[in-house]
Structure formats: C-alpha cells, structure tokens
Amino acid sequence: MSTRIRLARGGSKKRPYYRIVVADVRSPRDGRFIEKVGTYNPMLAKDHPERVTLIEERIRHWLTQGAQPTDRVLRFLDQAGIASRPDRSNPNKAKPGKKAQERADARAAAAAEAAEATEAPESAEA
C-alpha cells in the first residue's frame, strides 16, 4: 500500500483548517486516513507557535515506512528539521514570455527611432 503524508481540509467556508494525515494515495483528500500526525492553521500568524503542530515521532516512523510527503507538508517538515527539501532553481522564471519580449523589443525600437528623429533636425541646423 502506497501512503502519503498530506493535508486534509477542515473548517468552515473561508476559514480553513488542515489536519496533517497519513493516508492511502487512493483515498480522497478529506476522506479516510490512517493516522493524524499534526495540524496546520493558516489563519494564525506566521510566527505563532500553534500554526503548525507536528507529532515528530510518528512522522519519522511513517517516513521510514516509505510514506511520501506532499510538497507543502515537506516544507513544514523541513522547517521542523525532520526532513530536508531540495532547493529548486528556475533561472527562467523571472523572464517574460515570447510575446512580452516582442512588445518590449518593439518599444525599444520605437524609442530608438524617436531619439534618432530628435537628433537629426538638431544636426541639420548646426
């Protein structure tokens, strides 16, 4: 059986509250789970001690059993020092897309032409 450590949503509308659970990958997000191993309350301040609570002993047990944490849970485990999350590097993320680059090139060309047009009459007068 393939298990995953993931978030199960609870709480009311616009007031989310998550349980960190160990569940079979085939079970629904908020459905049946094997064990609850923590909580996450995004409504609390980032520095609040009860924003993320983890039962470290049980999480370590499930990790040794082969449970795979989701990306968000892996962030929590990395902050707690239980598991390490590899750094991601995407140097192309900040670059604009093709059409945006084309528009920027067109603007630069228009600005260069306007600069040439203003310089040409001045040099003719001199």
Same structural domain for residues 47 and 108?
Answer: no
Same structural domain for residues 76 and 98?
Answer: no
Same structural domain for residues 74 and 39?
Answer: yes
- List, for residues 14-28, the tens digit of each pLDDT value: 999 999 999 999 999
- List, for residues 25-52, the tens digit of each pLDDT value: 999 999 999 999 999 999 999 999 999 9
Same structural domain for residues 76 and 102?
Answer: no
Same structural domain for residues 67 and 32?
Answer: yes
Same structural domain for residues 72 and 98?
Answer: no
Percent pLDDT > 70 in the chain is 94
Same structural domain for residues 101 and 75?
Answer: no
Same structural domain for residues 69 and 98?
Answer: no
Residue 26: domain span: 3-80
Under the banding of pLDDT at 50, 70 and 90, the label for residue 122 is low
Q: Model's pTM, two decimal places?
A: 0.70
Residue from 68, 70, 67 nearest 9 by CA: 70
Q: What does the pLDDT read at residue 123?
A: 58
Same structural domain for residues 102 and 58?
Answer: no
Same structural domain for residues 76 and 120?
Answer: no
